[in-house]
Chains A and B, each alone.
Chain A
Amino acid sequence: FMQRGLDSQTKKQLEEEEKKIISEEHWYLDLPDLKEKESFIIEERSFMPCEDLLYGRMSFKGFNPEIEKLMIQMNSKCKEEEIEVDDKMEADVSDEEMARRYETLVGTIGKKFLRKRDQRVLQDEDEDGNSNTRPSKKAKKKFLKPQD
């Protein structure tokens, strides 16, 4: 009631008073706190963890290859928990090959973004490199005046 006009302080005071009234009315046990005993006994009803039993489905001499695969999977899960996981991923491509490919890759992608004129230059350079006997063409064609 009249909550809009009240300041926060007076509000708090009111709340505290209310709480006091309530807690006095509530019954509580006047006993010391009992410590909860941690039970060290855990009940387990299945036999599986006791004797480390195998998986129930089995196949022998290739009668059911899927089950044989499953057997290996299941039984290895139980026993081989100590094998450390190989963190290092084996690279499919060796580092040298990667460097080589990258080198050429940069060239080819770079060519894609050259302007048309520059592309011609590049082409001529390549041709020059391949065959020295060919006469070198002019890099840029000068503007030819239209003849009258």
Chain B
Amino acid sequence: GGAYWVDSQQKRYVPVKGDHVIGIVTAKAGDVFKLDVGGSEQASLSYLAFEGATKRNRPNVQVGDLIYGQFLVANKDMEPEMVCIDSSGRSSGMGIIGQDGFLFKVSLGLIRKLLAPKCEIIQELSQLYPFELVLGMNGRIWVKAKTVQQTLIIVNILEACEYMTAEQRKQALAKLSGN
């Protein structure tokens, strides 16, 4: 209680400590990976910051892979650092995001809407067909469904949700579930 926040629409992400984001591996420099998180700088990720990683047992990360992790350090004076492990040493869902699927970008406001508890959009979509979804606070969403067509449908709905009203969305979904 007693918290105030300013909610505004923005597309550009600013790294914040503790935020979970999706990053794209752009370079591998010795023991550290460079990730593009959509901010002004690239974030660094050490290969030891994965669950069960040791010097001998390195994670299998290639350039171009998608990583879901959280920021360990993120301030305006330093290069942001990410980890794929939480404070107790467990990965809890973070790490390399698997093969296939589709990554796209939305505005930050939409992500917040989607992550709100009891989000209607997510609930309605979950009734359609089985799929997997990863939402990064940096505006990136990764979707994977059984077929390419289903994946693209979900992508289009999520992108359009920005501007559709609830009514229009329900109509669109009704049409789809009717098909």
Comparing A2-10, A15-23, A40-48, A85-93, the segment that makes contact with chain B is: A40-48
- Residues on B with C-beta less than 8 A from A67 are 93, 132
Q: Is B136 an interface residue (CB 8 A)?
A: yes
* B132 x A54 contact (CB < 8 A): no
Chain B 133-161 per-residue mask, 1 if CB under 8 angstroms from chain A, else 0: 11111000000111000000000000000
12 contacts between A and B (CB under 8 A): A45-B14, A46-B17, A51-B112, A53-B115, A54-B116, A56-B68, A57-B133, A57-B134, A58-B132, A58-B135, A73-B92, A79-B117
Select B117's contact among A46, A52, A57, beta carbons within 8 Å: A52
Q: Is B19 an interface residue (CB 8 A)?
A: yes
Q: How many of A's residues come within 8 Å of B, CB to CB?
A: 26
* A62 x B92 contact (CB < 8 A): no
- Residues on B with C-beta less than 8 A from A49 are 3
Select A58's contact among B5, B116, B133, beta carbons within 8 Å: B133
- Residues on A with C-beta less than 8 A from B119 are 54
A-B contact count (CB 8 A): 80
* B17 x A61 contact (CB < 8 A): no
- Residues on A with C-beta less than 8 A from B116 are 51-54
A62 (CB) vs chain B CBs: closest residue: B130
* B16 x A45 contact (CB < 8 A): yes
Measured CB to CB, the closest approach of chain B to A78, in angstroms, equals 8
Q: Is B168 an interface residue (CB 8 A)?
A: no
Count chain A CB atoms within 10 A of each CB in B14, B125, B126 and give the residue with the most.
B126
Q: Is A14 an interface residue (CB 8 A)?
A: no
Spell out B's residues near A (CB within 8 Å).
3, 5, 14, 16-20, 68, 92-93, 112, 115-117, 119, 122, 125-126, 129-137, 144-146
* A56 x B132 contact (CB < 8 A): no
Say whether, besides A47-B112, A53-B116, A61 and B129 are in contact (CB < 8 Å): yes
Measured CB to CB, the closest approach of chain B to A6, in angstroms, equals 53
* A56 x B131 contact (CB < 8 A): no
Say whether, besides A49-B3, A51-B112, A54-B115, A61 and B130 are in contact (CB < 8 Å): yes
Say whether, besides A53-B112, A53-B116, A70-B93, A47 and B137 are in contact (CB < 8 Å): yes
Report the bound CA distance from A74 to B131 in whole Å: 19
* B19 x A60 contact (CB < 8 A): no
Say whether, besides A50-B5, A51-B112, A57 and B19 are in contact (CB < 8 Å): no
- Residues on B with C-beta less than 8 A from A113 are none
- Residues on A with C-beta less than 8 A from B134 are 56-58
A53 (CB) vs chain B CBs: closest residue: B115
Measured CB to CB, the closest approach of chain A to B151, in angstroms, equals 11
Measured CB to CB, the closest approach of chain B to A52, in angstroms, equals 6
Count chain A CB atoms within 10 A of each CB in B17, B93, B133, B144 and give the residue with the most.
B93
Say whether, besides A47-B112, A64-B132, A56 and B20 are in contact (CB < 8 Å): yes
Q: Is A55 an interface residue (CB 8 A)?
A: yes
